[in-house]
Structure 1
Amino acid sequence: MLDLDLQALRRLVETQHYRPLFVTVSGAHLYGFPSPDSDVDLRGAHLLPLREVVGLDLPEQTVERKLDLASTEVELVSHDLGKYLRLLVKNNGYVMEQIFSPLIVVGADFLHELRPLARRCITRHHYHHYRGFFATQRKLLNKQQPKILKTVLYAYRVLLSGIHLLRTGEVVASLPQLAEEYQRPFLLELIAQKQQEKGTAPALDWTFHDQQLRELEELLDRSYQQSPLPAERDRQAVHQFLVDYRLRPEPLQ
């Protein structure tokens, strides 16, 4: 499913027995390098009824569903708003990328409220998320022989997303967009290759890409050291947003 049908995804989400606040597309489709057989990753948040969260024992806070859309696997993961916002204030890059994903399935009005708050939680310490994610990809690459294109692209994506965020405060997860911004046109060739093939890349010039990744890794470290972003997020504002949202009258059914 290279071309996403957001309306079909919206109808699919609406068949589920929960009320999402928002759902956006994450994963390879957000990153800009899905394969023809890629599944679709949906991520979002929902609101548990107040009566269920004020007692001694919390109910299950996460919805996880494996769905099917025209023979394409769709993975839906949604957290209760309290759990989701607790992840937000922990410098979680995945959550930021979900909130700012341009691929909105449902919940545009809610995201209009949430995004200004999320911007106040973007800090220079998001560096640790991207640094850790890249370390995982580097370990995978060191073991792969020959290299797998998906892993190579993930490594580039996480480095460039981290660099861009630390320099500008903007959350951008699209590798084609980042490749243009940071003048890495060869990445577009890799993406085209991945979209046509699956698995290993025996013809990959790994010496070249290894050097490119090392240079970007150093640039990520420098971007952290020189970042103009604040060190602290506005945790109190997030707390108040959650309290206010919990106490809103429930909509009439």
Structure 2
Amino acid sequence: MIDDLDLDLDLHLDLTPVVAEQPDPMLFATVSGAHLYGFPSQDSDLDLRGVHLLPAADLVGLREPEETRSRTWVRYGVEMDLVTHDLRKFVRLMLRRNGYVLEQLLSPLVVHTTDAHRELAALAPGVLTSHHAHHYRGFAATQWRLFEKTGELKPLLYTFRVLLTGIHLMRSGEVQAHLPTLAEGPDAPGCLPELIAAKAEREHGSADVDHARVAADVERLHATLDAAQSASALPDAPRAHDALHDFLVRVRLGVMPAGSTALRP
């Protein structure tokens, strides 16, 4: 049950049934999306992300395994979106400079956790590389094009968020996806608090901004990200490949330390 976490949402949701309804064991489930990023609106849906564990037989037989599951429904009057990956696929994504899965794994908004979740999170620093900048740079370019096409506030905030996340990661080796926190840094445009407040009022709406000014801010942040990547102390390649392989085998075979059952966050 999410009750002590700052979701920027006036709801206390018992999400235990969501986890219990899944057909295979869940290693973890966390909140992602706008709530994690710190700019949900009153009508934002709730994005849940996690990892399920397929039986070994599902991976060695002739049938295609259900490595990714996606479901959307309404509960408590809130639209919920749940996407989970089998552990093997999730680990492979971790090794492919995928910022999305790291943000999901390390999200502080925890719905369901296990010992395996905590061990996997502890291995996350070993997959961070300077090349993760490409993920955030590419996502920012996509969101900026969407902003230019629609003029909506949401893709503009996403543009700023991913650029600032990428810069912070290159400099500190820390995955920080919360835009209000990033907005306190020296590189953040001064308009961010106002834009975040405006997003809270409506999920979809036009951005009341000086286009030339925000374009200059985005261009500056791209240059800052480039410089941060060049100066980053992060390695060129993941270092945790073998450790993740061993972890995956142990979890799949059920060889985990005592206390691997689901625990409250």
TM over 0.5: yes
Give matches, 1:167-178, under 5 Å: 167-178=171-182
**Partner residue of 2:248 out of 226, 242, 247:** 242
Query: What is the match of residue 230 of structure 1?
Result: 235
Residues 1:21 and 2:8 are matched in the alignment: no
Query: What is the match of residue 69 of structure 1?
Result: 75
Q: Where has structure 1 moved over 4 Å in runs of 4 or more?
A: 4-7, 249-252
> Post-superposition shift, 1:15?
3.0
Query: What is the match of residue 95 of structure 2?
Result: 89
- Aligned residues between the structures: 250
In 2, Cα distance between the equivalents of 1:114 and 1:5? 29
Secondary structure at the counterpart of residue 76 of structure 1: strand
**Partner residue of 1:165 out of 147, 169, 181:** 169
CA RMSD of aligned residues (A): 2.1
In 1, Cα distance between the equivalents of 2:73 and 2:106? 23
Secondary structure at the counterpart of residue 8 of structure 1: coil
**Partner residue of 1:209 out of 190, 211, 214:** 214
**Aligned pair in 2 of structure 1 residues 6, 246: CA closer, same or farther (>3 Å)?**
farther
> Post-superposition shift, 1:205?
1.7
In 1, Cα distance between the equivalents of 2:69 and 2:255? 23
> Post-superposition shift, 1:13?
2.7
Q: 2:74 is aligned with what amino acid? A: D
In 1, Cα distance between the equivalents of 2:32 and 2:166? 16
In 2, Cα distance between the equivalents of 1:116 and 1:82? 17
> Post-superposition shift, 1:174?
0.4
In 2, Cα distance between the equivalents of 1:56 and 1:104? 35
Secondary structure at the counterpart of residue 124 of structure 1: coil
Q: 1:213 is aligned with what amino acid? A: V
Give matches, 1:1-253, under 5 Å: 2-3=8-9, 5=11, 7-144=13-150, 147-182=151-186, 183-201=188-206, 203-233=208-238, 234-248=240-254
| Structure 1 portions without partners, runs of 5+ | none
In 2, Cα distance between the equivalents of 1:78 and 1:198? 24
The range that moved more, 48-57 or 197-206, is: 197-206
**Aligned pair in 2 of structure 1 residues 86, 28: CA closer, same or farther (>3 Å)?**
same
* 1:6–1:104 Cα contact (<8 Å) kept: no
Secondary structure at the counterpart of residue 50 of structure 2: strand
Q: 1:156 is aligned with what amino acid? A: F
**Aligned pair in 2 of structure 1 residues 4, 95: CA closer, same or farther (>3 Å)?**
farther
In 2, Cα distance between the equivalents of 1:227 and 1:148? 33
In 1, Cα distance between the equivalents of 2:228 and 2:74? 41
| CA offsets 1:176-225 (integer angstroms, 9 cap, x no match) | 00001235442111110111134333632222211111111110111111
* 1:2–1:36 Cα contact (<8 Å) kept: no
> Post-superposition shift, 1:27?
0.5
Secondary structure at the counterpart of residue 174 of structure 2: coil
Secondary structure at the counterpart of residue 229 of structure 1: coil
In 1, Cα distance between the equivalents of 2:114 and 2:103? 15
Q: 1:143 is aligned with what amino acid? A: K
In 1, Cα distance between the equivalents of 2:114 and 2:34? 21
Identical residues among aligned pairs (%):
46
TM-score, normalised by the number of residues in structure 2: 0.88
**Aligned pair in 2 of structure 1 residues 56, 127: CA closer, same or farther (>3 Å)?**
same
Secondary structure at the counterpart of residue 64 of structure 1: strand
**Aligned pair in 2 of structure 1 residues 247, 7: CA closer, same or farther (>3 Å)?**
same
Secondary structure at the counterpart of residue 154 of structure 1: helix
